[in-house]
């Protein structure tokens, strides 16, 4: 039963009707690990119930159980007071449970209407009746969905609304939203919360999974905290603070990405001048751009992207020794292309890249790596690891020509293994040995291995793309420490992250990228996530100064978010 170490912000309103969802004693074991242990949650009807916990705490497993994707080993599920047992999502949907996944499951080349009716053709057909129903739902909850827009033309926030509508269309009365704000900028988050309040007002129930505490306090009616697979307490959002929640969530104080004392020198390490890259003609990639300010409440359909547009447009910046340059931007605005150009994986059409005084514009990837570029890729599975290979071979990856991995073209497995053991030890990679495959490690441990590997070659310049994405809080702190440590010793870092707190906390200088251009710069000491978010949508440019008005209101938010 919930040990509830601290506060019990329970149902103040005595439920006149049975709770929408009641989970009792849920336990789920996977080979070797207990994912959920004796979980008890009561979700009142017509409320937004937040489920918080750090990555890997067991939130997703629990929701998969509720959604019928997994069967619990023990425990009961009651919907509207009635005991149920789901063996697949279809049965859960039939009982009015709907789930909006973190990664959208939409077909880009179909219209919104087509996406919504897909798989639900029996409900209202695929024609006028379906359209009418969609508009009805859209109007009822203020979703502002346009049925005939192509999904590939929609921004992230609009796609999310389509996903929500898709679930409602299938008759969901209880919506599970898995980390819905992870992909949104602050303004879009507010718009989403307005939508959630509408849903709530209409009597629907929302289960909101998150680890961003500031947001949770803004929108939730009830909060349940999960730690290491079990419910450790509930909290009342009207009285709880982010700090209390954080401590409940982690069982200790949360790490903060703050770097205070400056280590920036005047020696330029990386200089980029006029970097330009155009999209290959004939290829169109959707550009998930957020709507500009003022359009957040309404659906904003983007013009389709012209062929051959500039992915990077005259990008210039300098990173000095000991400096962390943070790049903020909505994903898909040129960050990937910038990284690829700096790593040498793709050739820019114009521009010069200089590393430590040497022109490396035409240098191949391997030479750049040997020359001192470290790389923490944004997608570690695709670019950072050989998933099916043992850890020690992954330690060689990317540094096969360097000591201790090889000598004169011949590999030195003994030395590589020994060094892998050192990395495992120093960076606290949790593994039974260095012969297990990378795939069997958790995300945080994989990332620690990558960070350890890149730092082991004393890079002059580090590209850190989303270094703590999908990483648990403990590993997050260790990774931040590693970056800060190296920065003190003169490392230049290019930090790209969707986590605005991380960006503001770690960076010495901030730039905003929008449609391939660096449109704004900001001082991380004074900027707030909200202001940064505005600039990310292209609504602000130039040097961002915190206006007095803004900073007063935003400061509170910032402290809240720091604690997350």
What pairing do the DSSP bridges indicate for beta strands 517-522 and 542-544? parallel
For residue 345, the minimal CB distance to other proteins (Å) is: 6
Among 364, 542, 553, 556, binds other proteins (CB under 8 A): 364
d(CA 290, CA 285): 15
Using CB under 8 A, which of the segments 57-65, 89-97, 288-296, 384-392 binds other proteins? 384-392
553 binds other proteins (CB under 8 A): no
CB 501 within 8 A of CB 564: yes
Closest CA to 462 of 357, 375, 398, 345: 375
d(CA 198, CA 204): 9
363 binds other proteins (CB under 8 A): no
Indicate the residue among 378 and 560 with the shorter CB distance to other proteins.
Answer: 378
5 binds other proteins (CB under 8 A): no
Indicate the residue among 106 and 463 with the shorter CB distance to other proteins.
Answer: 463
6 binds other proteins (CB under 8 A): no
34 binds other proteins (CB under 8 A): yes
Using CB under 8 A, which of the segments 60-68, 145-153, 347-355, 363-371 binds other proteins? 363-371
For residue 245, the minimal CB distance to other proteins (Å) is: 18
Q: Give the number of other Cβ atoms within 10 Å of residue 82's Cβ.
A: 10
Closest CA to 317 of 510, 125, 459, 130: 510
Indicate the residue among 281 and 410 with the shorter CB distance to other proteins.
Answer: 410
For residue 307, the minimal CB distance to other proteins (Å) is: 20
415 binds other proteins (CB under 8 A): no
For residue 184, the minimal CB distance to other proteins (Å) is: 27
Binding pattern for the stretch 319-358 against other proteins, x by CB under 8 A and - elsewhere: ------------------------x-x-------------
For residue 247, the minimal CB distance to other proteins (Å) is: 12
At 156, is the secondary structure helix, strand, or coil? helix
473 binds other proteins (CB under 8 A): no
Among 225, 353, 385, 486, binds other proteins (CB under 8 A): 385
382 binds other proteins (CB under 8 A): yes
Q: How many residues bind other proteins (CB under 8 A)?
A: 50
For residue 432, the minimal CB distance to other proteins (Å) is: 4
Using CB under 8 A, which of the segments 161-169, 300-308, 312-320, 409-417 binds other proteins? 409-417
Indicate the residue among 374 and 538 with the shorter CB distance to other proteins.
Answer: 374
366 binds other proteins (CB under 8 A): yes
Exposed, middle or buried, 359 (CB in 10 Å: 0-12/13-18/19+)?
Answer: exposed
Binding pattern for the stretch 387-406 against other proteins, x by CB under 8 A and - elsewhere: xxx---x--xxxxxx----x
Indicate the residue among 122 and 408 with the shorter CB distance to other proteins.
Answer: 408
Indicate the residue among 228 and 243 with the shorter CB distance to other proteins.
Answer: 228
Closest CA to 516 of 341, 323, 282: 341
CA dihedral 162, 137, 194, 544 (to 10 degrees): 40
Print the SS3 string covering 380-405. HHHHHCCCCCEHHHHHHCCCCCCCCC
Query: ∠559-561-564 over CA atoms, to 5°?
Result: 120
d(CA 208, CA 237): 13
Here the contacts of 260-263 (C-beta below 8 Å, separation 24 or greater) are 262/508, 263/322, 263/323, 263/487, 263/488, 263/490, 263/508
Residues of this chain, 287-326, that bind other proteins according to CB under 8 A: none
Residues of this chain, 222-251, that bind other proteins according to CB under 8 A: 228, 251
Indicate the residue among 31 and 306 with the shorter CB distance to other proteins.
Answer: 31
CB 110 within 8 A of CB 186: no
410 binds other proteins (CB under 8 A): yes
Using CB under 8 A, which of the segments 256-264, 408-416, 504-512, 528-536 binds other proteins? 408-416
Print the SS3 string covering 75-110. EEEEECCEEECCCCHHHHHHCCEEEECCCCCCCCCC
CB 231 within 8 A of CB 6: no
Among 5, 274, 413, 553, binds other proteins (CB under 8 A): 413
Q: How far is CA 382 from CA 386, 387, 476, in A?
A: 8, 9, 20
Q: What is the DSSP string of 460-527?
A: SEEEEESTTTT--HHHHHHHHHHHHHHHHTT-EEEEE-S-HHHHHHH-SEEEEEETTEEEEEE-TTT-
What would the two tokens of residue 85 be?
A: 């047992």
Backbone angles phi, psi at 357, to 5 degrees: 90, -5
Using CB under 8 A, which of the segments 13-21, 204-212, 410-418, 516-524 binds other proteins? 410-418
Q: How far is CA 230 from CA 88, 386, 470, in A?
A: 23, 33, 20
CA dihedral 233, 238, 239, 245 (to 10 degrees): 40
369 binds other proteins (CB under 8 A): yes
Among 123, 182, 295, 365, binds other proteins (CB under 8 A): 365
Residues of this chain, 424-453, that bind other proteins according to CB under 8 A: 430-433, 435-437, 439-442
Indicate the residue among 134 and 391 with the shorter CB distance to other proteins.
Answer: 391
For residue 344, the minimal CB distance to other proteins (Å) is: 8
- Please report, as ranges, the residues that interact with other proteins according to CB under 8 A: 30-34, 228, 251-252, 343, 345, 364-369, 375, 377, 382-389, 393, 396-401, 406, 409-411, 413, 430-433, 435-437, 439-442, 474
């Amino acid at each position: 039963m919930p040990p509830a170490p601290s506060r019990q912000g329970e149902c103040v309103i005595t439920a006149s009707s049975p709770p929408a969802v009641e989970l009792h004693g849920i336990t789920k074991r996977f080979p070797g690990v207990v994912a959920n242990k004796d979980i008890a949650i009561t979700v009142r009807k017509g409320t937004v119930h937040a489920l918080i916990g750090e990555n890997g705490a067991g939130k997703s497993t629990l929701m998969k159980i509720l959604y019928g994707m997994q069967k619990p080993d023990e425990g009961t599920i009651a919907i509207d007071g009635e005991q149920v047992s789901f063996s697949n999502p279809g049965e859960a949907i039939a009982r009015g449970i709907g789930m909006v996944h973190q990664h959208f499951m939409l077909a880009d080349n179909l219209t919104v209407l087509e996406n919504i009716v897909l798989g639900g053709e029996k409900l209202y057909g695929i024609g006028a009746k379906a359209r009418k129903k969609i508009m009805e739902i859209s109007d009822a909850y203020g979703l502002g969905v346009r049925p005939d827009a192509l999904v590939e033309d929609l921004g992230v926030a609009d796609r999310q609304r389509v996903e929500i509508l898709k679930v409602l269309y299938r008759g969901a009365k209880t919506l599970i939203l898995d980390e819905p704000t992870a992909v949104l900028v602050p303004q879009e988050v507010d718009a989403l919360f307005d939508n959630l309040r509408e849903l709530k007002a209409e009597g629907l129930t929302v289960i909101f999974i998150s680890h961003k505490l500031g947001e949770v306090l803004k929108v939730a009616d009830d909060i349940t905290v999960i730690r290491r697979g079990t419910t450790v307490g509930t909290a009342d959002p009207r009285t709880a603070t982010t700090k209390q929640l954080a401590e409940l969530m982690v069982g200790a104080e949360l790490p903060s990405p703050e770097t205070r004392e400056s280590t920036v020198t005047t020696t330029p390490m990386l200089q980029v001048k006029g970097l330009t890259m155009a999209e290959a003609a004939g290829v169109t990639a959707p550009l998930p751009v957020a709507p500009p300010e003022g359009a957040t409440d309404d659906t904003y359909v983007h013009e389709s992207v012209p062929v051959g547009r500039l992915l990077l447009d005259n990008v210039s910046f300098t990173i000095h020794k000991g400096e962390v340059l943070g790049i903020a931007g909505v994903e898909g605005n040129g960050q990937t292309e910038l990284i690829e150009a700096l790593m040498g994986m793709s050739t820019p059409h114009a521009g010069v890249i200089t590393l430590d005084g040497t022109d490396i514009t035409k240098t191949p990837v391997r030479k750049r790596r040997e020359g001192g570029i470290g790389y923490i890729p944004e997608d570690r599975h695709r670019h950072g690891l050989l998933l099916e290979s043992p850890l020690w071979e992954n330690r060689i990856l990317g540094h096969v020509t360097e000591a201790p991995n090889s000598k004169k073209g011949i590999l030195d497995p003994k030395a590589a293994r020994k060094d892998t053991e050192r990395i495992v030890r120093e960076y606290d990679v949790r593994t039974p040995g260095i012969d297990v495959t990378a795939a069997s490690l958790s995300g945080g441990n994989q990332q620690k291995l990558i960070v350890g590997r890149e730092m082991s070659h004393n890079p002059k310049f580090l590209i850190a793309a989303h270094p703590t994405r999908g990483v648990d809080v403990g590993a997050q702190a260790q990774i931040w420490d590693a970056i800060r440590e190296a920065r003190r010793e003169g490392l230049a870092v290019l930090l790209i992250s969707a986590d605005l707190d991380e960006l503001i906390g770690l960076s010495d200088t901030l730039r905003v990228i929008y449609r391939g251009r660096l449109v704004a710069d900001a001082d991380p000491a004074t900027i707030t996530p909200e202001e940064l978010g505005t600039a990310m949508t292209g609504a602000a440019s130039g040097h961002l100064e915190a206006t007095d008005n803004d900073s007063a209101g935003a400061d509170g938010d910032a402290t809240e978010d720091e604690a997350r």
